[in-house]
Amino acid sequence: MAATYSFDVTSTIDLQEVDNAINQARKEIAQRYDFKGSTAAIELDQKANTLTLSAEDNFRLEALWEVLATRMVRRNVAVKNLKRGDVEPAGGGTVRQVVTLQMGIPSEAAREIVKHLKDLKLKKVQAAIQGDQLRVSSPSKDELQAAMGALRAKDFGIALQFGNYR
């Protein structure tokens, strides 16, 4: 009987790195001239996996997002997994935006990944959705390497991590 090899495809965010990036962004905002006297703020809700950005106007909100995104990239947090919500008015003439942290692979993206692997017509490569991750298996390590390369090459709208290769 031939041995089967597999790897897992996941999409996660390290919340400690997110917290560190937020703290760095807060320090930068406190020192920047264009934010002097501003009530710009970033709040992290770890239970709901959301960030709340608030500022006086849309211009400062976008500047706040740019500072935060730059800090996230420097700390190797995938900005693809941050889903920005609509800008909504808040109290005191300010605006607020909720950013959702995407943890795990959404079901529609998982189906798209499985369909992409089937369209590649790699020999005996099987993809199974297991909750918020995928397990890709095959009797051939070379086919698994080809599948991994194909998944890295295509953009599914989320950052993919590969692990548990055996």
pLDDT by residue (tens digit) across 49-102?
Answer: 899 999 988 888 899 999 999 999 999 988 888 888 888 888 888 899 999 988
SS3 label, residue 41: strand
Averaged pLDDT score across all residues of the chain? 86
SS3 label, residue 57: coil
Asked if 91 and 129 sit in the same domain, the reply is no
Domain count, the chain: 2
CB atoms within 10 A of CB 33: 5
Which domain, by its residues, includes 118? 5-12+104-163
What is d(CA 164, CA 81) in angstroms, rounded to the nearest whole number? 21
Provide the pairing of β-strand 133-138 with 82-90. unpaired
CB atoms within 10 A of CB 89: 9
Domain end position, chosen among 101, 124, 149: 101
What is d(CA 115, CA 107) in angstroms, rounded to the nearest whole number? 12
Provide the pairing of β-strand 94-101 with 41-45. unpaired
pLDDT tens digit sequence for 5-25: 888 888 888 889 989 999 999
Return left, alpha or beta for 80; rule: phi > 0 is left, psi -120 to 50 is alpha, else beta. Answer: alpha
Residue 12 one-letter amino acid:
T
Asked if 57 and 33 sit in the same domain, the reply is yes
Whether the CA torsion 63, 66, 67, 68 is positive or negative: it is positive
Confidence class of residue 1 from pLDDT cuts 50, 70 and 90? very low
**Mean pLDDT within 32-56:** 88
CATH number at residue 44: 3.30.70.990
Asked if 34 and 20 sit in the same domain, the reply is yes
Asked if 28 and 43 sit in the same domain, the reply is yes
Asked if 25 and 96 sit in the same domain, the reply is yes
Confidence class of residue 2 from pLDDT cuts 50, 70 and 90? low
Return left, alpha or beta for 95; rule: phi > 0 is left, psi -120 to 50 is alpha, else beta. Answer: beta
Asked if 19 and 97 sit in the same domain, the reply is yes
Asked if 109 and 126 sit in the same domain, the reply is yes
Q: Shortest CA distance to 109 belongs to which of 76, 132, 79, 143? A: 132
Return the residue matching tokens 């020192």: 31
What tokens appear for 127 in the block? 């993809």
Asked if 23 and 89 sit in the same domain, the reply is yes
**Mean pLDDT within 123-152:** 85
Q: Give me the pLDDT at residue 39, please.
A: 85
0.85 surpassed by pTM? no
Return the residue matching tokens 């194909």: 150
Q: Give me the pLDDT at residue 24, please.
A: 92
Q: Give me the pLDDT at residue 20, please.
A: 92
